[in-house]
Amino acid sequence: MEPMDFNARNIAEFRSSGGKLGGPFVGAPVLLLTTVGAKSGQQRISPMMYLPEGGRIFVIASNGGSDRHPSWYHNLRATPSATVEVGTETYSVTAAEITGAERDRLYAIQAERYPGFATYQERTDRVIPVVELIRGES
């Protein structure tokens, strides 16, 4: 299945089920992140798992352990303002990359909860970024 078909199916399922996904994502915290394409300027929607921690939300730019960052990460670096959908709620966020010991701590939590993330880091030499999505004023 092409990545776009996979994403389109997951986006439709997420929106029709009140923010839940089936298959390998059953029970996992998943959100939809809408960014502005760094090159295209077009809106891009990316379904992804997130780490809820201490009332904050973090996303991890694992790209399945690829040696390349995912497109959404490049988009956020170019334009840190984005929108998230969590459950049935949609709100604006600003992205802020987490580095150093705090990044390592958060990545370890996600890898413990979802061991696939440990595998992703083993597959690549890059340090997989952790990004906080800071909720805007309502």
Domain count, the chain: 1
R_g of the chain, CA atoms, integer Å: 14
The pLDDT assigned to 2 comes to 61
Range of the domain at 21: 3-135
Q: H-helix or E-strand containing 134?
A: strand 130-135
Q: What is the DSSP annotation of 45-93?
A: EEEEE-EEETTEEEEE--GGG-SS--HHHHHHHH--EEEEEETTEEEEE
Q: From first to last of the 138 residues of the chain, give the pLDDT tens digit.
A: 565 587 888 888 888 888 888 777 778 899 999 999 999 999 999 999 999 999 999 999 999 999 999 999 999 999 999 999 999 999 999 999 999 999 999 999 999 999 999 999 999 999 999 999 999 865
**pTM for the model:** 0.91
114: left (phi over 0), alpha (psi -120 to 50) or beta: beta
Q: H-helix or E-strand containing 133?
A: strand 130-135
CATH number of the domain encompassing residue 51: 2.30.110.10
The pLDDT assigned to 1 comes to 52
The pLDDT assigned to 28 comes to 85
Q: Are 56 and 111 in contact (CB under 8 A)?
A: no
Measured between alpha carbons, how far is 20 from 14 in angstroms, rounded to an integer? 5
Look-up of token digits 């921690």: 53
The pLDDT assigned to 23 comes to 76
